[in-house]
Amino acid sequence: MVIRRQDPWTLLNQLGGELNRLYEGQLDPDTSSPATSDWVPAVDIREDQDRFVIEADLPGVPPEQIDVQMENGMLTIRGQRESASRQAAEGYKRVERTTGSFYRRFSLPDTADAGRISARTANGVLEVSIPKQEKLQPRRIQVEG
């Protein structure tokens, strides 16, 4: 006999999260829409002193299936996660991992240096590094009198 811990709120929390994503996507046209992709990877966005970093969970997605583009202040991450055919005859009783296309879009601040953006993957996580433009130092203007 297997003892399983059951949390009655898990499904309700998942539904709430999906509804929030759908609602936020309709309010903010700069974000990705669930209607444009089969699944939406989770992302973390942080700001360091000299760069912005976007980390996206993309397990099982090879680097050649990931497309990162920057255009008009918008960073787009899209791609495809393929899966082998899963049939009940092969022994699968449950399939929860989503496959298909994904799409995320982010509006970048004016301080981002679009020409130096880099991306790499490691352990199923895509890291997009967006350097900040070097700050212009204030220049003191001599007033003659």
Domains of the chain listed by start with CATH number: 31-83+99-133 (2.60.40.790)
Is there a contact between 58 and 50 (Cβ–Cβ < 8 Å)?
Answer: no
Q: Is 24 left (phi over 0), alpha (psi -120 to 50) or beta?
A: alpha
- For 130, the token pair is 């967006």
pLDDT digits (tens), the chain, 145 positions? 566 666 777 777 777 777 776 666 554 444 445 456 788 999 999 999 899 999 999 998 999 999 999 999 999 999 998 876 555 557 777 777 788 899 999 999 988 999 999 999 999 999 999 999 887 667 788 898 7
- For 3, the token pair is 């003892």
The whole-number pLDDT of residue 21 equals 67
Q: What is the value of pTM for the model shown?
A: 0.66
Phi first, then psi: give them for residue 114, nearest 5 degrees: -60, -25
The whole-number pLDDT of residue 31 equals 47
